[in-house]
Structure 1
Amino acid sequence: MTLPRDYRGQTCALSRAMEVVGERWTLLIVRDAFFGVRRFADFAGHLGIPRAVLTDRLAALTEAGVLDRVPGGGRRAVYVLTPKGIRLWPAVRALSAWGEEHRPAPGGPRRVYRHTDDDAPVADDGRCTACGAPVGAGDLLVAPGPGLPAPSEDDDPVTAALHRPHRLLEPLPLTKGSP
Structure 2
Amino acid sequence: MNVPSRMGFRVDNCSIERTLDIVGEKWTFLVLREAFTGVRRFADMQATTGAPRQVLSARLARLVDEGLLRKEPYREPGQRQRDEYRLTEKGRDLYPLLVALMHWGDKHLAGEQGPPVLLTHRDCGAPIELRFRCAAGHEVGGPREVTPVPGPATDLRSA
Asked if Structure 1 and Structure 2 have the same fold, meaning a TM-score greater than 0.5 normalized by the shorter chain, the answer is yes
CA RMSD of aligned residues (A): 1.8
Q: Which residue of 2 aligns with 1:95?
A: 101
Which of 6, 18, 21 is 2:20 aligned to?
18
TM-score by length of 1: 0.62
Distance in 2, Cα, partners of 1:16 & 1:45: 29
Q: Which residue of 1 aligns with 2:47?
A: 45
Letter in 2 for 1:11: N
Q: Is the 8 A contact 2:96 2:130 kept in 1?
A: no
Distance in 2, Cα, partners of 1:56 & 1:116: 33
Matched ranges for 1:3-152 at <5 A: 11-74=13-76, 75-125=81-131
Q: Tell me the secondary structure at the aligned position of residue 26 of structure 2.
A: coil
Distance in 1, Cα, partners of 2:112 & 2:65: 38
Q: Tell me the secondary structure at the aligned position of residue 119 of structure 2.
A: strand
Q: Which residue of 2 aligns with 1:173?
A: none
Number of residue pairs aligned between Structure 1 and Structure 2? 118
Q: Tell me the secondary structure at the aligned position of residue 111 of structure 1.
A: coil
Which structure shows the higher helix fraction? 2
Kindly state the Cα deviation for residue 109 of structure 1 after the two structures are TM-superposed.
1.3
The one-character-per-residue Cα deviations of 1:95-149 (angstroms, maximum 9, x if unpaired) are 00001111114411111111122122222449xxxxxxxxxxxxxxxxxxxxxxx
Distance in 2, Cα, partners of 1:125 & 1:33: 23
Q: Which residue of 2 aligns with 1:148?
A: none
Distance in 1, Cα, partners of 2:131 & 2:72: 32
Indicate how the Cα distance of structure 1 residues 10 and 24 shifts in structure 2: closer, same or farther if over 3 A, else same. farther
TM-score by length of 2: 0.69
Indicate how the Cα distance of structure 1 residues 106 and 51 shifts in structure 2: closer, same or farther if over 3 A, else same. farther
Kindly state the Cα deviation for residue 83 of structure 1 after the two structures are TM-superposed.
0.4
> Greater relative contact order (Cα 8 A, min sep 6): structure 1 or 2?
2
Query: Runs in 1 of length 4+ with deviation above 6 angstroms?
Result: none
